[in-house]
Chain A
């Protein structure tokens, strides 16, 4: 059950994968850089998680080691499905061992495989994993998922910018204070993970708001 967790959204575009997360407000004296929600597992795979931060740290460390071990052993980077299966198997082991409790996290894992195909997977504490075209995890995941079901179309993900805007729009449905509480990361084919700065996110948010206003103006003109 998602309790007190902040929203995370993952979208699989044609040439891009997008991960958007709701930033929680940090205490005044806290160093913001140490509160990271989107973590790179390798150059071509990253993940966002919702749930217990400490559990996530353990899972991420194991996954990162596995990524490098795989690369050294078979001389190929992991596929997104492989590392997702690894994480899911790890989580399942903890549901069936004595004296241990399950990992309290759900994760969204995105990346590109060597063949250039974008992937998005979701895992949950039981150890199941599924591939998604777009998904959300967190407290209001249902609301965000309904928004995505309505708005995820082939047009919406045709271009990279549109996919990014879709992720931001989905988060804005539930995030309380708008653009300044959104963190975004993308991976483009054959390029490393890129984290967006607050300014870049704001630019997208302003563009979205402009489009919204224009759409409303058109609507009111039509009705008149």
Chain B
């Protein structure tokens, strides 16, 4: 303890470890009210897996019910827009289920009626080609993950102004033998959140997986960013799935105009 110039007594900083720990313990002791609030929040948090037609819960693990050889995950609105206009536009895709979740960071307080714009994940399978989400054994499964990241997160020696954003980078697991359609992600860049979790899981369980990461300067839904994913259509994993590219471009444009929120800040 030390006295300051103004006469107040303050705690002097101390580099002795033990003393600090005691102080921290005191601060962390929570009141019964805190505990109660935390327990209530924990009860409210939920993740629900629903079957499409009946909206009843999917008790059985999705992959056991619909074993698949190609699994494509899109994370973020640009990746999802790419997938829905280019891949899901060709062929008939059937929604087999969805996952909805709620936790205290979600913006709505209503836990019973979650709209599809909230935290939401849809599972679709291709009706015409059963090997995509079909009946092949799990051993031959290949996973493709698409996601976006802001270009300011990209660490490089070059100046960010000269980067040709948006651009694609790839990261693959050891078992993925096919070549990527774009350069690999260099060090010291790392992948975050859900794509990182999926990729780590695949690496541990020796599942061939590749992540395509698009670095862009616009994080909201944007035509140029979505089109940056186009080189992926030439890879082996997505080749057979995409048929009609001009039509897909039209659908993408429609998606853009319906989702456009015009702000007056920029001209």
Contact = CB atoms under 8 A, between A and B. Distances in A.
A203 interface: no
A6 B224 CA distance: 12
B266 A3 contact: yes
A97 B71 CA distance: 54
Contact of A53 (B160, B165, B256, B264): B264
Interface residues of A, number: 23
Contacts of B223: 176
B145 to A, nearest CB: 26
Interface in A139-183: 139-140, 142, 176
Contacts of A224: none
The binding surface of chain B is classed by DSSP as: loop
Contacts of B253: 176
Contact of B267 (A1, A25, A53, A176): A53
Contacts of A25: 257, 260, 262
A74 interface: no
B265 A52 contact: yes
A217 interface: no
Nearest to B165: A1
Contacts, number: 44
A24 interface: yes
A53 B266 CA distance: 5
Contact of B262 (A2, A24, A142): A24
A56 interface: yes
Contacts of A72: none
A65 B117 CA distance: 49
Interface string A9-29: 000000000000000111100
A11 B263 CA distance: 28
A5 B161 CA distance: 15
A49 interface: yes
B265 A53 contact: yes
Nearest to A34: B264
Contacts of A54: 265
Q: Which of A3, A25, A56, A140 has the most CB of B within 10 A?
A: A3
A154 B262 CA distance: 39
Interface in B184-207: none
Given A1-B217, A4-B218, A56 B262 contact: no
A188 B113 CA distance: 62
Given A139-B224, A140-B224, A5 B217 contact: no
Interface string B132-165: 0000000000000000000000000000110011
The 6 tightest CB contacts between A and B, nearest first, are A4-B266, A53-B267, A3-B217, A5-B266, A37-B267, A1-B217
Given A25-B262, A51-B266, A142-B164, 16 more contacts: A1-B160, A3-B218, A4-B218, A4-B263, A5-B267, A6-B266, A6-B267, A24-B262, A25-B257, A35-B264, A37-B267, A49-B267, A51-B267, A52-B267, A54-B265, A176-B253
6 contacts: A25-B257, A37-B267, A52-B266, A53-B266, A176-B223, A176-B256
